[in-house]
Structure 1
Amino acid sequence: MSDSGSGWYDETLHKDVAQRLRMGRVLHRDRTGLQDLVIFENPVLGRVMALDGVVQTTEGDEFVYHEMLTHVPILAHGRVRRVLIVGGGDGGMLRRCLEHKAVERVTMVEIDRSVVDLSIAHLPSISAGAFDDPRTDLVIADGCAFVKNKGVKETAERFDVIIVDSTDPHGPGAVLFTEEFYADCKARLTPGGVMVTQNGVPFLQPGELKDSHRRLGRLFGDAGFFVAPVPSYYGGFMAFGWATDDAALRRQSAEAIRPRFEAAGLTTRYYTPDIHVASFALPAFMLDALK
């Protein structure tokens, strides 16, 4: 990880390849108690937040990631009232969920309060006031314990959509990729509910794709992936896990999705109903990895 000392930030998530981002002004850097966090400016990507040496979000391209992980499950479902976000401390996922006026409540469970506070202070355009929305229920707690209904804010509430906006499966984020966690999430879904997950870059992380597919497939009637290119997540397409017991939801046409999109009145920079449908068409190397 780290500032190389020459004005560049070296991300070394992957063993044999890396990316470098030029560091302009450093807005914040310290250990939060749970993670090493840095926020800095880059001439192309704007403000960048990295945790433990891995880029988490940037002002420049966050819209691709956040639009796809929210609008795809919400519009595919069509009747979403309650959403649970596990992680997502920068607030981008929360903001995009709240753009759906029919959504009555979004519960966001983030383990590290300082990530929320620093994002509001230094990356305000990403959350755009979402934490002040009366439909927001921010819970600072361990996401695994929350879905298991143990500890902080015990509740039997169920959700139409669960979004797992996690870090990669290393360190604190590893437990969010286990079959036990996925099973606990399923128990918190309403009938016909949808769970989506951040699932890495399959070209460089094929094992993560295979593991998630196997675990989700044992629990849900329909488990698969959709994809989108997020420039600051080096390595090509990013995969998003998809899991539900209603197999019809991901087989809808753009013509079926379009009226929902128009009724929602969304303004997007990446997502469209046609992109929604096309994102479930996986490249051959991913299909081969899933065999």
Structure 2
Amino acid sequence: MEFIEWYPKGYGVGFKVVSKITEVESEYQKIELYETEGFGKLLVIDGTVQLVEHGERSYHEPLVHPVMLAHPNPKKVLVIGGGDGGTLREVLEHKTVEKAVMVEIDEKVVEISMKYLKIDGGLLERALKGEEPRAELIIGDGVEYMKSHKDHFDVIIVDSTDPVGPAKLLFSEEFYRNAYEALGEKGLYITQAGSVYLFTDELLDAYKNMKKVFDRVYYFSFPVIGYASPWSFLVGVKGDVDFTKIDLDRAKDLNLQYYDPERHETLFQMPKYVRELLEGKA
């Protein structure tokens, strides 16, 4: 057996599959979980790879730690999406965090992750039960939640599906404006933005929309296991925060496998033609 995610132009990322663990059609999407031959469990939503168990940190670490270490004092963090629990898990590694709120719209993703995937180490269940002092898990609409919490968060992390189809709303100018207003005086916003090579147009659109809203916008890429890498990320800045510089002292407390704080500058490597497109030089 095998699972292949097909990207544009006939490019695919595939895994040898031992078995299908479960398949659920939720109110919002089709969720599948497989056991692979060499990467543990594979989470798939609407036919797209969300993560592989052995390698998921190659996505969650660059999504979380660069912005957390660049912010001078990230106390309040909002995670939109992230139903597998990996993003919330990484956020709570930072001792500065007093409260992390995760808002996931699809309860089924959380249920499957808690029952079968378990990369969160029980964090999701504790947060749902109110037994995790620094974390709150809400099943609901992250957009609406953000609108009702203006000037509130230090860091906002959007852990969503790809910037195509239903998730396109999360890459719109209106959404970014709501995020900007939900950030405090000094704030950082980050989102994944798809494959550098295969979703280039979507990356450009998201970047242009963010530039209309945030004080500064940064782009970077990272090789993510299971994705059509390099994978792109976009960071929006509100106020006086320099994303090119991070707190290396705080980084010493983190158990990192993929993102290397001492080589933070390497994040900003981007293929020349993509950089020129982003900067409007092509």
TM-score, scaled relative to structure 1: 0.89
State the shift of 1:14 in Å: 2.7
Check whether the contact 1:222–1:247 (CA below 8 A) recurs between aligned residues: no
CA RMSD in angstroms comes to: 1.6
Q: What residue is the counterpart of 2:260 in the other structure?
A: 272
State the shift of 1:272 in Å: 2.0
**2:240 & 2:205 partners in 1: Cα distance?**
21
1:251 aligns with 2:244: yes
Q: How does 1:221-260 map to 2 (within 5 A)?
A: 221-234=215-228, 236-246=229-239, 248-252=241-245, 257-260=247-250
Structure 1 residue 248, shift from structure 2 partner:
4.9
Give the whole-Å Cα distance in 1 for the aligned partners of 2:20 and 2:257. 28
Call closer, same or farther: CA 1:72–1:105 in 2, change over 3 Å.
same
Q: Quick one: percent identity of the two aligned structures?
A: 35
Within a 5 Å distance, the mapping from 1:46-85 to structure 2 comes to 46-85=40-79
SS at match of 1:102: coil
Moved over 6 A (4+): none
Aligned residues: 273
Flag structure 1 segments of 5+ consecutive residues without an equivalent: 1-6, 150-154
Cα displacement string for residues 183-209 of structure 1 (whole angstroms, at most 9, x for unaligned residues): 000000011200000100111111011
| Matched position secondary structure for 1:183 | helix
- Give CA deviations for 1:146-205 in whole Å, capped at 9, x if unaligned: 2223xxxxx456100000111012333121111100000000001120000010011111
In 2, distance between residues paired with 1:156 and 1:257?
27
Q: Go from structure 1 to structure 2 and tell me whether the alpha carbon gap of 1:246 and 1:276 turns closer, same or farther (over 3 Å shift).
A: farther
Q: Deviations over 1:197-222 (max 9, x none)?
A: 01001111110111111111111121
Unaligned runs of 5+ in 2: 127-131
Measure how far apart 1:247 and its partner are: 6.2
* Correspondence for 1:197 among 191, 200, 204: 191
1:199 counterpart SS class: strand
1:1-291 to structure 2, matched below 5 A, reads 7-124=1-118, 126-131=119-124, 132=126, 133-149=132-148, 155-156=149-150, 158-234=152-228, 236-246=229-239, 248-252=241-245, 257-262=247-252, 265-290=253-278, 291=280
Whole-angstrom CA distance in 2 between matches of 1:285 and 1:157: 37
